[in-house]
């Protein structure tokens, strides 16, 4: 039988080893899954394009891990447990085997860390930059999903981890700011999905989402979903030592790529939140509160209300 | 509150009306589905890139329908019933609103025809050609899924519909061959997923797949999966009147984009296949048989065995 086209060799060599139960060795038209009985499914999809969401010369293993992790972050924000994923990869014909090997190695590493496997997908060529799309599949107990629209007046606003490292890391990766120990670039390239905390937030958080387009813009989504105003204190927003050293507060508040969780938590659940944070090894910080009012985010700085200008990351505008 | 970026306006105006149950109005981090009790899930993903899988000036509604239909064809090949889909769209910044309106109109039309709805996705920019990725979600009764690897020696080879129209339609769309009534271009742009037949094939077909990369190449996949040889008679391969008029038999046998089903059916199931075909309004044609032997596809033409040369569509090579 004549030699198989390169597409099939790439799939067999690099992607088949990532295939999990139900994927039928990636050799069929689709994967077959028996959903865990008594659980709902949670599904989300995100695309990443070279030059838009990552730098064309970013190491392929880190690109793969960012793609998987940004999708896992969506599951974390829903309080869901990951199960598997589908992946489509569109690459220039000149893409060499080493790129696929590196990309698959990154996926293999994070598959192990997060307990997921590849269910299916497609590999194709493009005349443009590398284009990636990943659909994540997870599960949640019925009624336990975290939503964006549940914030109530008086709820405190909490965030996980530190804010702004992703946006600063992009500048550092471009050589525009210093990053002596590579901390910021690492935070930009390999976000940390807060799955362990997300799984513990049912009954604690009234609303949750992940911060991907910038803290202020994403908080605006929670405000609109609930019909509430929000105020955050700039001094309370948790910054890493590297971000404090960079001294670009506006960028930290408005930039994207944090992949931290943003939560609305009533006062009476703060003790439970502290327990969940400790059990999951996640830092959480209170940065403000929701109040009755038309949807609006106010940021209070050292000298009173701050003007942030246009903030947030728009993938089309 | 400051104006929302364009990405959100596009989603609200064009994609939110397509959102179905569980999609949470596309306003959350993910969709939540209660899988139909007692059924397995079937998931597949396919990417399409302008200039590779469709022509850059193809009407956007037809591009959308082809994207959805090629994925539905994967479900048909598994004997699965469609439920919903996730979609990522990467477009040049210059893409105008009319493109999104047309694209969404195509999806709306086929959502109604096939009983599916949009569950989630992502819209982003690219510096390259339009890149699309769709993940389809369907269901099947446990144990009733159709697989590629079940063909047995002696099984007859059947195909649905007519073969070669897609490959000829691409030539016609490029103006390279005549297509007086537009039949071939239409077959290239709007494939017909054989869902109604696929749902009736459990207990009839030993193996099934959809023909997307060319009849001979895809039949080779069934051969390798089962460890069998296959022989087809060129004269038996069903051609449309337009394809017969074009007189490009090799292209019909080797070209891609058919999205017809290719089946392995034992003699004793032929009567049941005829009933399933009639009930689903699908034409089926017997074109050859599987036999013991090393994996190999032979095509018998009017003058004996045909040499087809390199055939099949490789998306990377």
Give B148→chain A minimum CA distance, Å.
6
Is this structure's pTM higher than 0.90? yes
Q: Same domain for A200 and A247?
A: yes
Size of interface A-B (CB pairs under 8 A): 260
One domain for residues A55 and A130: yes
Residue A8: closest C-alpha in chain B: B314
| Residue B240 within any structural domain of the chain | yes
Q: Are residues A199 and A274 in the same domain?
A: yes
CB contact under 8 A, B1 and A126: no
In terms of residue numbers, what domain contains B217? 156-305
Residues B110 and B208 occupy one common structural domain:
no
Of A89, A149, A295, the CB nearest to B1: A295
Q: Is A20 on the interface with B (CB under 8 A)?
A: no
Question: Do A202 and A263 belong together in one domain?
Answer: yes
Q: Is A135 on the interface with B (CB under 8 A)?
A: yes
CATH number of the domain to which B46 belongs? 3.30.1330.10
pLDDT in tens, B248-272: 999 999 998 999 999 999 999 999 9
| Mean pLDDT, chain A, integer | 92
- In angstroms, the CA A301 to CA A305 distance is 6
Asked if A127 lies within 8 A of B52 by C-beta distance, the reply is yes
Report how far residue B30's alpha carbon sits from residue A41's, in angstroms, rounded to the nearest whole number: 10
Is B1 part of any domain? Answer: no
pLDDT for res B303: 86
The reply to whether A78 touches chain B by the CB within 8 Å rule is yes
Nearest C-alpha in B relative to A144: B32
Packed helices B60-78 and B97-114: angle between N→C axes, nearest 10 degrees: 30
Residue B259 is assigned to a structural domain of this protein: yes
Q: Of B81, B107, B140, which residue is a domain's last?
A: B140
- What per-residue confidence (pLDDT) applies to A312? 52
- A62 to chain B nearest CA, in Å? 20
To test the contact with chain A by mutation, choose from B10, B29, B116 the residue with the greatest count of A C-beta atoms within 10 A, namely B29
Q: Give SS3 for A97.
A: helix
pLDDT, residue B149, reads 92
Domain co-membership, B136 together with B163 = no
Where would I find the H helices in chain A?
6-10, 60-78, 97-114, 165-173, 183-189, 195-198, 215-226, 241-246, 249-254, 270-280
Q: Which residue among A109, A140, A171 closes a domain?
A: A140
- CB distance B29–A44 less than 8 Å? yes
Residues A174 and A241 grouped into a single domain: yes
Number of structural domains found in chain A: 2
* B139 contact A CB<8A: no
Of A140, A165, A188, the residue that ends a domain is: A140
The ranges of chain A with pLDDT < 70 are 1-5, 309-317
Residues A173 and A243 in one domain: yes
Placement of tokens 């090579």 in the chain: B317
Q: What is the pLDDT of residues B180-197, one digit of tens each?
A: 999 999 999 999 999 999
Question: Is residue A148 situated within a structural domain?
Answer: no
Q: Are residues A135 and A18 in the same domain?
A: yes
Structure tokens at A123: 């590999």
CATH code of residue A191: 3.90.650.10
Asked if residues B76 and B211 have their Cβ atoms less than 8 Å apart, the reply is no
Q: How far is CA A87 from CA A12, A204, B46, in A?
A: 15, 33, 9
Residue A221 lies in a domain: yes
Same domain, B211 and B251: yes
- Asked if residue A312 belongs to a domain, the reply is no
* Eight-class DSSP state of A165: H
Q: At residue A288, what are phi and psi to the nearest 5 degrees?
A: 170, -160
Same domain, B297 and B184: yes
Q: Is residue A251 part of a domain?
A: yes
Q: DSSP class of residue A14?
A: I
Note the pLDDT of residue B112. 96
Q: Please, is B12 exposed, middle or buried when counting C-beta atoms within 10 Å of its C-beta (0-12, 13-18, 19+)?
A: middle
Contact assignment for A49 to B123 by CB distance below 8 Å: no
Residues A102 and A195 reside in one and the same domain: no
Residue B45 lies in a domain: yes
* B224–A contact, CB cutoff 8 A: yes
Cα A140 to Cα A195, A272, B266, B308: the distances in Å are 12, 20, 43, 51
Residue ranges in chain B modelled with pLDDT below 70: 1-5, 309-317
């Amino acid at each position: 039988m004549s030699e198989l086209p390169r597409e099939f060799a790439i799939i067999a060599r690099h992607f088949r080893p990532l295939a999990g139960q139900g994927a039928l060795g990636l050799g069929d038209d689709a994967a077959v899954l028996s959903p865990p009985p008594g659980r709902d499914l949670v599904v989300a999809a995100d695309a990443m394009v070279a030059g838009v969401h990552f730098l064309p010369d970013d190491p392929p293993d880190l690109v793969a891990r960012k793609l998987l992790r940004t999708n896992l972050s969506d599951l974390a924000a829903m309080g869901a447990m990951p199960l598997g994923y589908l992946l489509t990869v569109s690459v220039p014909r000149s893409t060499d085997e080493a790129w696929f090997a590196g990309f698959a190695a990154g996926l293999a590493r994070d598959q192990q860390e997060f307990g997921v496997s590849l269910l299916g997908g497609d590999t194709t060529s493009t005349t443009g930059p590398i284009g990636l799309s990943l659909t994540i599949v997870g599960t949640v107990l019925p009624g336990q999903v975290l939503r964006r629209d549940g914030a109530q007046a008086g709820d405190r606003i909490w965030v996980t981890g530190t804010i702004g490292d992703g946006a600063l890391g992009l500048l550092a990766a471009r050589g525009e700011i210093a990053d002596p120990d590579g901390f910021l670039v690492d935070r930009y390239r390999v976000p940390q999905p807060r799955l362990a905390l997300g799984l513990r937030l049912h009954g604690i958080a009234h609303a949750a989402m992940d911060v991907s387009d910038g803290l202020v813009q994403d908080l605006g989504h929670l405000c609109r979903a609930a019909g509430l105003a929000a105020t955050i204190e700039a001094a309370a927003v948790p910054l890493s030592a590297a971000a404090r050293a960079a001294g670009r507060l506006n960028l930290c508040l408005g930039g994207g790529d944090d992949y931290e969780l943003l939560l609305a938590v009533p006062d009476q659940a703060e003790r439970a939140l502290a327990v969940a944070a400790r059990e999951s090894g996640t830092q959480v910080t209170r940065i403000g509160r929701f109040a009755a009012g038309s949807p609006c985010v106010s940021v209070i700085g050292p000298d009173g209300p701050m003007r942030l200008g246009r903030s947030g990351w728009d993938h089309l505008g």
